[in-house]
Chains A and B, each alone.
Chain A
Amino acid sequence: GAVVSQHPSRVICKSGTSVKIECRSLDFQATTMFWYRQFPKQSLMLMATSNEGSKATYEQGVEKDKFLINHASLTLSTLTVTSAHPEDSSFYICSAREPLGDQPQHFGDGTRLSIL
């Protein structure tokens, strides 16, 4: 069945580094992908909606210059955390749905980001 692949699964890096997370739809085309963030002991928080070929739609309070989203193709969306700081440490997860018909939602396995 359709799968969403998220890479890397875990990143540990120094403060000030920029980190790119990829979200790929492996056997379907996704015009829309969602990026979520989860803090420990809390529920998922929507960060932005990634739209193929256009600018992402960010939720209130999410810094678009900090969290750069690029949806350059129908199978790939990337989230880049620029100049990451320890407070950016979190679990990031993407999701995508096939655009046509009544298709199921698919989630990536998530990326654990740890900023030292």
Chain B
Amino acid sequence: AQSVSQHNHHVILSEAASLELGCNYSYGGTVNLFWYVQYPGQHLQLLLKYFSGDPLVKGIKGFEAEFIKSKFSFNLRKPSVQWSDTAEYFCAVIFPKDKIIFGKGTRLHILP
């Protein structure tokens, strides 16, 4: 069955620390991949997306993600986090027939 998993439910980091949030999916064919961010009390906002081409995708606010097909992964990274990055992060995958599945989300807390 198609699924999306985010391994870390809660992550706490200090400012300037490096960040990597994991996202894995289960499906052997072609998918489209997204990372969204949701700040407290707000709606989802797109950070970055991958459809094809360079597997290293750069998004807004200094985020990037790398699609590793052999590992079915699309991990989100940021070299140096800021307090304003405190939010919830969702990985989403579009499977065939435009079926979209979200991960459970990762709560990120950045300590000032």
A binds B: yes
Q: A residues within 8 Å of B by Cβ?
A: 34, 36, 38, 40-41, 43-44, 46, 49, 91, 93, 95, 102, 104-105, 107, 110, 112
Contact of B100 among A46, A49, A93, A102 (CB under 8 A): A93
Contact of B38 among A40, A91, A105 (CB under 8 A): A105
Q: Is B107 an interface residue (CB 8 A)?
A: yes
Q: Which residue of B lies closest to A91 (CB)?
A: B98
Report whether A44 and B46 are in contact in the complex, using a CB–CB cutoff of 8 Å.
yes
Q: What is the interface of chain A mostly: helix, strand, loop, or mixed?
A: strand
A44, A95, A112: residue with the most chain B Cβ atoms closer than 10 Å: A44
Name the B residues within 8 Å of A105 (CB-CB). 38, 88, 90, 105
- Given A104-B88, A110-B99, 6 other A-B residues pairs in contact with their CB atoms under 8 A: A36-B43, A38-B98, A41-B51, A93-B100, A95-B44, A102-B107
Contact of B44 among A36, A91, A104, A112 (CB under 8 A): A36
- Docked pose: A95 CA to B90 CA in angstroms: 12
A-B CB pair tally, cutoff 8 Å: 38
Within 8 A of A (CB), among B35-50: 36, 38, 43-44, 46, 49
Report whether A49 and B43 are in contact in the complex, using a CB–CB cutoff of 8 Å.
yes
- Given contacts A34-B43, A43-B34, A104 and B105 within 8 Å (CB-CB): yes
Name the A residues within 8 Å of B32 (CB-CB). 41
A90 CB to closest chain B CB, in angstroms? 9
Could you list 26 examples of A-B contacts with CB < 8 Å? A36-B44, A38-B98, A38-B100, A41-B32, A41-B51, A43-B34, A43-B46, A44-B34, A44-B36, A44-B44, A44-B46, A44-B92, A46-B43, A46-B44, A91-B98, A91-B100, A93-B100, A95-B44, A104-B88, A104-B104, A104-B107, A105-B88, A105-B90, A107-B102, A110-B99, A112-B98
